Amino acid sequence: MTNEQGLREIISPSPEVLESAIINNRAVLANMADQDLERFWEEQAKEFVWFEPWKKVLDESQKPFYKWFVGGSTNIVYNCLDRHVLSWRRNKLALIWEGENGDQRTFSFHALNREVCMFANVLRSMGVRKGDRVTIYMGRIPELPIAMLACAKIGAVHSVVYGGFSVEALHGRIEDSQSNVVITCDGSFMNGKVVELKKIVDEALKRCATVEHVIVVKRTGQPVTMEAGRDYWYSDLMGLPVARTANGASRCETEEMDSEDPLFLLYTSGTTGKPKAILHTHGGYMVGVATTLKWVFDLKEEDRYWCSADPGWITGHSYIVYGPLLLGATSFMYEGAPSYPYPNRWWSLIEKFGINVFYTAPTAIRGLMRFGEAWPNRHDLSSLRLLGTVGEPINPEAWRWYYDVIGKGRCPIMDTWWQTETGMFMITPMPETPLKPGSATKPFPGVEADVYDENGNPVETGEEGYLVLKRPWPAMLRTIYKDPDRYVSQYWKRFPGVYFTGDSARKDKDGYFWIIGRVDDVIKVSGYRLGTAEIESALVSHPAVAEAAAIGLPHEIKGNAIHAYVILRAGYEPSEALIEELRNHVGHEMGPIAKPEKITIVPQLPKTRSGKIMRRVLKARAQGLPEGDLSTLEE
Ligand code: WTA
C-alpha cells in the first residue's frame, strides 16, 4: 500500500511549530528564487567567509558542466571550524559521540579544530597535497569526520568508502580514485561484534599497488597486522612533532580553494558494474547544504541534532559532517546498531543527550517498530521537536508510528528527497509545510522538479512518470570523476537539458511530489543504494557461476531485498551448500548489505535477442505479475 492510498490526511503545522520556525514564508522564498535564481543563492552565499568574492554566481556557458560562485575562493573547513573557533562558539560542543560499548567522547569546536589541524599537518608531512585523493574506510568514530575535515582543510579530495563494504568494493574504489593514502581503523563495534576493517584493507591492498601509506586508528584494540614502512598508528603520528607547527602549536593553515575545486568523491551505484565517483566542490556544496539544513531542520543555536546515517554515505557527508558544522550546531553521532544491546538503544540516546532534531531512514523505523511501543515508551522523548526521514519512500504504517510513538504527535516529519548527486535536499517539507504522509511535498526554493513521460513531455497531474530537475542548484554534482562523458550520458541525455534522477514519481493536484522508486538498475536495500550489475559481477567472480542476474523484490523491513538468479558452470551441481557459499562470497566481495536474500539456480535467464538480461521479466515472474511486453524476448 502506498501512502497516497493509505493516509489521506493533511497534517498542518501546530502554532508552536509555526511560531518558532526559522522559515515561515516558504512561498515568498520560492517566488524570489523563481524570479532571480542567482540573486537568491547569492544571498545565501553571503552567510559564509570567502577569501575572494565570486565574480559570477552561475556560469552556464558549458552546461551541463555548471559552475557556481565563479572566481570566488573559500574553504568549506574554514567555514566549518576556523570561523567558529574565532567566535564565541569556540567552547560550544560541536560533536558528542557514543560508542556501541558505551564509550563517550565530546569535542568543542576548539577541540575538533585542534584534532583536525594536527591530523592535517600529519597528512601534509606524508606528502598529501592539494588535489590528491585520500580513501577513508572507517567505523562510525570521531576520527572519521576528523579525517574528512583534515583532507578538505589542505585541499585533498576525500573518498569515504562505507565501512559496511568489503574487499572488492573497497579495492575498486581505492584503485579508481588512485589514492596514495588510506585512513582506517583496526575495527569497529557493530551489533556486539568487531568488524575487522584493517583486515579488509590488507586484503584489498593485495589487489592494488598505488597505496603508499595506511593510517590506522585504534578503536577496538584487537590484534592487527601492521606492515612496516606502510602502516602507521594514528595516535603515534599525532604525537610526532610533525603534527604541530615549528613552535609546537596545534595549528595548521587552511588552504585557499577555488569555489569549484573538488571537495570529495563519493562512489555510488549506477547502471553499470563500475561504481561511479560523484564529484562535489567546496563553494556551491557548502552553500546548498547549509541553507537546506537550516531551513528544513530548523536548526537553532541551542539544538542538539542527530542524524543516524553513516558518514560513509551522502547523508552523512552533508548532514552529519559538513552541514551541522557549517551552522555551528551541536551534533551527536553513535557508533553502533540501533538495537544493541536492546531495541531501546536509540530512544535511550535521545533521552540521554536531549536530542531535539532526529533524522533517520524508513527502514530503521520499520526495523525498530517491530519490537513494539514498549521500548520507546520507556524513555522520555519530550526533547524532540522535529523528525526527518530519507532514503526511500516511507510507508503509512511506519510514518504513523514515527509520528505518534516517537514524535508523540507533536513533531513534524521532514521527508527529504535527494540523492548522492544532488548533494542537498531537493524535494522536502519545511516545518511550516502542511504534510501529506508519504509525500516529500514540494521542491526546495530554487529547485524546479517535474514528472515527464517517455518523450519528455510533462505527464498529467496524478500520472506516474520520470522525475526530472529543470534548473541547476549549487550543491549539484559537477561530474563523474575521470568520466565526464558518462556524466553527460547518465544524467543529461535522456531528456536533453534537464537532469534525469533515475526515479519515478507522481505529482498531485496540490503540486506535492510522491516518489515511487528507482526506474534503473539500482536497488535500495535498507536505504542503501546498490547496483544490480555490481552484485552480478561479484557473483560471476565465483568459479561456479557462469551468469547471474540480480533484482530487488519488496521486503517488509528493508524496503527491497536482493534476489539473485544464477546459471552454474559445467561441472557444478546445485546444492544448498553451494547457494550459501555464493551468498557468503557476495558478502565477502561487496559487503554484508549486498548479500542476496535468496539465490535461485536456474538453467537459463530471460534475455533479449541482443543478449541483455530482462530483469523486469524476472521481477514480474517472482511476484506473479503480468510479464508485460515480451516481443524482444529471445526464444
Ligand atoms: C531514494 C540518499 C523516497 C530515491 C540521500 C533516490 C527517496 C535515491 C527519498 C538516492 C525520499 C531518497 N523518498 N525516495 N525521501 N530520499 N530516496 O544517492 O530513489 O543514496 O534516487 O541518496 O534514494 O539515494 P542516495
**pLDDT tens digits along 225-275:** 999 999 999 999 999 999 999 999 999 999 999 999 999 999 998 777 678
pLDDT the model gives residue 7: 58
pLDDT the model gives residue 208: 87
> Residue range 291-315: average pLDDT?
96
* 504-554 tens-digit pLDDT: 999 999 999 999 999 988 999 998 999 898 899 899 999 999 999 999 999
Ligand 1, atom 23: closest residue by C-alpha: 391
d(CA 491, CA 65): 11
Residue 336 contacts residue 99 (beta carbons within 8 Å)? yes
418 CB within 6 A, ligand 1: yes
Ligand 1, atom 15: closest residue by C-alpha: 417
Provide the β-strand partners of residue 551.
Answer: 563
596 CB within 6 A, ligand 1: no
Q: Which residue has the cell 580513501?
A: 135
Dihedral angle sign, alpha carbons of residues 436, 437, 443, 444: positive
Instruction: Give 235's contacts (C-beta < 8 A, 6+ positions apart).
Output: 217, 218
Q: Which of 335, 367, 363, 328 is nearest to 349 (CA)?
A: 335
User: Rounded to the nearest whole angstrom, what is the distance from the C-alpha of residue 574 to the centroid of ligand 1?
Assistant: 37
Peptide bond into 341 cis (omega under 30): yes
268 CB within 6 A, ligand 1: yes
515 CB within 6 A, ligand 1: yes
Q: Which of 472, 437, 361, 467 is nearest to 40 (CA)?
A: 472
- Provide the pairing of β-strand 93-98 with 67-70: unpaired
Identify the weakest region by mean pLDDT among 85-99, 345-359, 598-612.
598-612
Residue 287 contacts residue 41 (beta carbons within 8 Å)? yes
d(CA 271, CA 535): 11
pLDDT the model gives residue 634: 79
User: Rounded to the nearest whole angstrom, what is the distance from the C-alpha of residue 419 to the centroid of ligand 1?
Assistant: 5
pLDDT the model gives residue 269: 83
Could you tell me the three cell numbers for 207?
589487489
Residue 284: alpha-carbon gap to chain centroid: 18
d(CA 512, CA 222): 51
Ligand 1, atom 2: closest residue by C-alpha: 419
Could you tell me the three cell numbers for 142?
570521531
Atom of ligand 1 minimally distant from the CA of 313 = 20
pLDDT the model gives residue 2: 52
**pLDDT grade for 633, boundaries at 50, 70 and 90:** confident
560 CB within 6 A, ligand 1: no
Residue 265 contacts residue 159 (beta carbons within 8 Å)? yes
Q: Which of 431, 320, 500 is nearest to 16 (CA)?
A: 431
**pLDDT grade for 212, boundaries at 50, 70 and 90:** very high
* 100-133 tens-digit pLDDT: 999 999 999 999 999 999 999 999 999 999 999 9
* 409-445 tens-digit pLDDT: 999 999 999 999 999 999 999 999 999 999 999 999 9
314 CB within 6 A, ligand 1: yes
d(CA 24, CA 554): 38
Report DSSP state, residue 345.
H
| 3-class secondary-structure state, position 162 | coil
pLDDT the model gives residue 6: 53
529 CB within 6 A, ligand 1: yes
**pLDDT grade for 626, boundaries at 50, 70 and 90:** confident
Atom of ligand 1 minimally distant from the CA of 502 = 21
Residue 187 contacts residue 194 (beta carbons within 8 Å)? yes
Instruction: Give 1's contacts (C-beta < 8 A, 6+ positions apart).
Output: 395, 396
168 CB within 6 A, ligand 1: no
Ligand 1, atom 6: closest residue by C-alpha: 419
Ligand 1, atom 20: closest residue by C-alpha: 529
292 CB within 6 A, ligand 1: no
User: Rounded to the nearest whole angstrom, what is the distance from the C-alpha of residue 423 to the centroid of ligand 1?
Assistant: 11
Residue 4 predicted with pLDDT over 70: no
Atom of ligand 1 minimally distant from the CA of 517 = 19
User: Rounded to the nearest whole angstrom, what is the distance from the C-alpha of residue 502 to the centroid of ligand 1?
Assistant: 10
Residue 548 contacts residue 534 (beta carbons within 8 Å)? no
422 CB within 6 A, ligand 1: no
Could you tell me the three cell numbers for 250?
596545534
| 3-class secondary-structure state, position 189 | strand
Instruction: Give 277's contacts (C-beta < 8 A, 6+ positions apart).
Output: 159, 173, 176, 177, 265, 266, 267, 480, 481, 482
Residue 241: alpha-carbon gap to chain centroid: 36
Residue 41 contacts residue 446 (beta carbons within 8 Å)? yes
| 3-class secondary-structure state, position 243 | helix
Residue 564 contacts residue 601 (beta carbons within 8 Å)? no
Instruction: Give 40's contacts (C-beta < 8 A, 6+ positions apart).
Output: 29, 32, 33, 445, 446
420 CB within 6 A, ligand 1: yes
d(CA 6, CA 201): 46
Q: How many CB atoms lie under 10 A from the CB of residue 537?
A: 19
User: Rounded to the nearest whole angstrom, what is the distance from the C-alpha of residue 609 to the centroid of ligand 1?
Assistant: 33
Residue 66 contacts residue 60 (beta carbons within 8 Å)? yes
> Residue range 593-611: average pLDDT?
92
**pLDDT grade for 629, boundaries at 50, 70 and 90:** confident
501 CB within 6 A, ligand 1: yes
Could you tell me the three cell numbers for 96?
558528542
With the most atoms of ligand 1 within 8 angstroms of its CB, the residue from 399, 444, 503 to mutate is 503
**pLDDT grade for 628, boundaries at 50, 70 and 90:** confident
Could you tell me the three cell numbers for 445?
526554493
SS (H, E, C) 476-529: CCCEECCCHHHHHHHHCCCCCCCEEEEEEEEECCCCCEEEEEECCCEEEECCEE
